A = this chain, B = another copy of it.
């Protein structure tokens, strides 16, 4: 089994998952947490799905492509929401989500 070609996407998923988890925890420490509610909710969805997708790819699962297709959607939604906020953790999360969405779309193609 050759999973080397998955490595770029696995790396993007891991980076995105960590950025989302870091963003969620940082949002909870902001003064105006309420403004961040949508961001936190998507961070949770996105980090968990990215880690699942990383596992599917590492195992060479026959459902890896379909999982990446859905992961790209969730990443794009999270990037859009986080991109609205000026906080560094949000901007970094949005960037990681965009990169991951692109990598997952390439994988799913």
Query: Which residues of A approach B to under 8 Å, CB–CB?
Result: 1, 3, 10, 14, 17-22, 24-26, 28-29, 31-34, 36-37, 40-41, 44-45, 47-49, 51-52, 54-56, 58-63, 66-67, 70, 73-74, 77
Contact check, A1 vs B14: say whether CB atoms are below 8 A apart: no
Contact check, B63 vs A41: say whether CB atoms are below 8 A apart: no
Contact check, B37 vs A61: say whether CB atoms are below 8 A apart: no
Number of copies: 4
Rounded to whole Å, the gap between the CB of A34 and the closest CB of chain B is 4
Q: A22 contacts which chain B residues (CB < 8 A)? A: 1, 3, 58-60
Chain B residue with minimal CB distance to A25? B59
Q: A31 contacts which chain B residues (CB < 8 A)? A: 34
